[in-house]
Amino acid sequence: MAEETLEKTVIMEKYLVFTIREKRYALPSRMINEVAVLEKVFPLPMVPDYVRGIINRYSVPYALVDIGFLLFRESSPAKKVIVLKGEVDKLAFLIDDVTDIADIPPDKLLKIDQEEVSAICAFFEWNETQVFCLEIGELITTIKGDFEK
């Protein structure tokens, strides 16, 4: 009699791992439209300090957010951008560099209490280092709230 085994299917999610000020962060790849080299930034008046201005990607304007400044209150010398998909919002995040794409099962994501660090929702271990997952919804809420002030 042949022994039947049921394999447990684990659904992995792909995360883009990138650096900001020598720390590793991640976003689900499903939210990312592209990663590009930073080109011309068109400054905007009367915006929060962490909004560098507008960048143009294929004739579509995106607000360029310096995540390093938002998290650490210090401008980033970064030269690359992550452009979010249009259904998320017309936002691009300034980053230092892309380091990897990680396939992470849900049980490897360790949740972080939102009251402690509102822009970070979880972390996972990757190549012997901690990678912090940015919370897009919270970042957008913060940005919109600052624009309304």
* CATH number of the CATH domain containing 27: 2.40.50.180
The answer to the question of residue 2 being in a domain is no
Which range of 75-79, 86-90, 134-138, 144-148 scores highest in mean pLDDT? It is: 134-138
Strand runs (DSSP E) across the chain, as ranges? 13-20, 23-28, 32-37, 51-57, 60-66, 80-84, 91-95, 97-104, 110-111, 120-126, 129-134
The answer to the question of residue 3 being in a domain is no
The answer to the question of residue 35 being in a domain is yes
Q: What is the mean pLDDT of residues 15-35?
A: 93
Does residue 120 carry a pLDDT above 90?
no
The answer to the question of residue 8 being in a domain is no
> What gap in Å lies between CA 54 and CA 61, rounded to an integer?
6
Name the band, by pLDDT with cuts 50, 70 and 90, for residue 3: very low
Name the band, by pLDDT with cuts 50, 70 and 90, for residue 143: confident
Domain count, the chain: 1
pTM, two decimals, is 0.82
The answer to the question of residue 68 being in a domain is yes
Domain hosting 110: range is: 13-148
From residue 106, alpha-carbon distances to 66, 95, 103 in Å are 28, 25, 10
Higher pLDDT, 41 or 117: 41
The answer to the question of residue 1 being in a domain is no
The answer to the question of residue 5 being in a domain is no
